[in-house]
Structure 1
Amino acid sequence: MAERIAAVVFDLDGVLVDSEALQLAAWQCYVERWEKKLPATLLPRLFGRRLVDAASIIVEELGLPVAPDEAARERDALFLASLPGNVRPMPGAHELITGLRERGMRLGLATSGHRRYVQLVLVELGLADAFAAVVTGDDVARGKPAPDCYRLAASRLGVSPAACIAIEDAPLGVAAARAAGLRCIAVPNAHTAHLDGFAAADTVLPGLDAVLPWLESNGWIA
């Protein structure tokens, strides 16, 4: 039997909140200022990254006449303006969090999102008090796929990485969790399911409602 876990660390976008379509729409609106389109071939490099890191990629690949920090700031204004009334939890998110808390799991969040956005979304979702540790993209020197955010989340939870499991929707996030020494469940969504790189996860599940049964059947939680 595998060693039981003591903590679960969630990604945010695409795992707990259905935000990726809004994020892509904000980027598309931004690059249209220069009569550009966001190429579909670029998306695998963007999902899971911090805003500033995604901005660097987009500015370079599309040849935009702005600095990455300016692009990030202006795109962020478009994105945040689109959130009111449009923030939706992913199916099964609240039920999974409730079920894990009932089983005594310590819960953390390790997201590439910046602190202002993360705080706003957690309040909108009714999850402001759900996590014992929250790590945002502002808290680390390197964003995903670097392991920094997951290492910091485990440290703040007071649990060894080996006793934590991450829940991710994108290959870059899976890579970050595994590099940090966490186990990982991948739950791809409509935007990420076609991407390569999920083989590094311990399992790939069709939805959040399958997570608890899988953990129980594999002896990872009581």
Structure 2
Amino acid sequence: MTTFAPPPGAAAWRHLDARTGFEVVHFRPLPDGHRIEGCTTAVEEGRTWVVDYVIELDASWATRSARLASRSAEGGRQILLETDGAGRWRVDGAPASWLDGCLDVDLESSALTNAFPVHRMRLGVGAASPAPAAFVRAADLAVDLAVERLEQRYARLPDEEGRQRYDYAAPVFDVACRLVYDGSGLVLDYPGLAVRAA
């Protein structure tokens, strides 16, 4: 089983390849978990957009709620995802049975959200586990929101130079890569997507 240091007060990532932009987050401790306030700004395929989010996690790092607001040239959109922590979700107050069994939210626009399953599962070296998530596409927020179920998998590798490493796969997007984390369990390098800046 792995353990992590407490999260820093703030962290930031620079987007790579897929888009140009930045993500900044601030961590606020709660009596029974964490509140994360973040913002991603980006230019992608000629479109500019901003996604603000507030995510609340319980003490095990399972998602309890995610409030997102986006802005782009097409307009703005807000959405609220809520979960009981046992895998049942509501989207803007309506039951979302297609997300049953998911314990994490995953934002397309965020490198941060790949920290949630790693913290929650605390895999030992050599262990692997599926980690289905409620996935929100960044580009869809401003126009026609789609919250999807994302099947993904994490496999813990031996540490290297004091850094935790995981093989990550999301077959629906044909993604398979190696993620490197710091001592707080935050992504340092997400190949082709983001690199830690602060």
TM-score category, normalised to shorter length: under 0.3
* Higher percent of residues as helix: 1
TM-score, normalised via structure 1 length: 0.26
Q: Quick one: higher RCO (CA 8 Å, sep 6+), 1 or 2?
A: 1
* Higher percent of residues as strand: 2
